[in-house]
Structure 1
Amino acid sequence: MTEPNPAGERRGTLGERLNRLRAAVLGANDGIVSTAGLVVGVAGATDDRSALLTAGLAGLLAGSMPMAAGEYISVSTQRDSEKAALAVERRELRERPEAEPAELADPPARRGLTREVAREAAVQVTERDALRAHARVELGIDPDELTNPWHAAWAGFLAFTAGALLPLLAIVLPPAEWRLAVTVGSVLTALAATGWSSARPGAAPPARAVTRNVVGGAVAMGVTYAAGSLLDVAGV
Structure 2
Amino acid sequence: MSDVRASDEPTPLDNGHDREEPHDANVGARLNWLRAGVLGANDGIVSTAGVVVGVAGATADKAAIILAGIAALSAGAMSMAAGEYVSVSTQRDSERALLSLERRELHEDPDGELEELTQLYEAKGMRRELAAEVARELTAHDALTAHAEAELGIDPTDLTNPWHAAGASMLAFVVGAILPMLTITFSPASVRIHVTVVSVAAALALTGWVSARLGRSPATRAVLRNVAGGLLAMGVTYAIGALVGVNIG
Q: Which amino acid aligns with 1:228?
A: G
Aligned residues: 228
Bigger helix share? 1
Unaligned runs of 5+ in 2: 1-21
Give the C-alpha shift of residue 15 in structure 1: 3.0
The equivalent residue for 1:182 is: 195
Alignment root-mean-square deviation, CA: 1.6
Equivalent of residue 225 in structure 2, options 200, 212, 216 = 212
Determine helix, strand or coil for the equivalent of 1:200: helix
CA distance in 2, matches of 1:92, 1:222: 57
Q: Which amino acid aligns with 1:95?
A: E
CA distance in 2, matches of 1:100, 1:143: 17
Determine if the alignment matches structure 1 residue 222 to structure 2 residue 235: yes
Q: Which amino acid aligns with 1:151?
A: H
4+ residue segments displaced more than 4 Å: 9-12
Give the C-alpha shift of residue 11 in structure 1: 8.1
Determine helix, strand or coil for the equivalent of 1:201: helix
CA distance in 2, matches of 1:234, 1:85: 57
Equivalent of residue 18 in structure 1, options 31, 38, 41 = 31
* TM-score, normalisation: structure 2: 0.87
Equivalent of residue 204 in structure 2, options 175, 185, 191 = 191
The one-character-per-residue Cα deviations of 1:158-182 (angstroms, maximum 9, x if unpaired) are: 1111111110111001221231121
Determine if the alignment matches structure 1 residue 110 to structure 2 residue 110: no
CA distance in 1, matches of 2:23, 2:88: 22
CA distance in 2, matches of 1:115, 1:27: 46
CA distance in 2, matches of 1:47, 1:12: 53
The one-character-per-residue Cα deviations of 1:84-135 (angstroms, maximum 9, x if unpaired) are: 0000111011001112221112232223321112111211111111111111
CA distance in 2, matches of 1:32, 1:111: 44
The equivalent residue for 2:184 is: 171
Determine helix, strand or coil for the equivalent of 2:154: coil
Identity of counterpart residues, as a percentage?
61
* TM-score, normalisation: structure 1: 0.91
State which drifts further: 105-114 or 184-193: 105-114
The one-character-per-residue Cα deviations of 1:14-59 (angstroms, maximum 9, x if unpaired) are: 4323322221122111111111011001111222221111000000
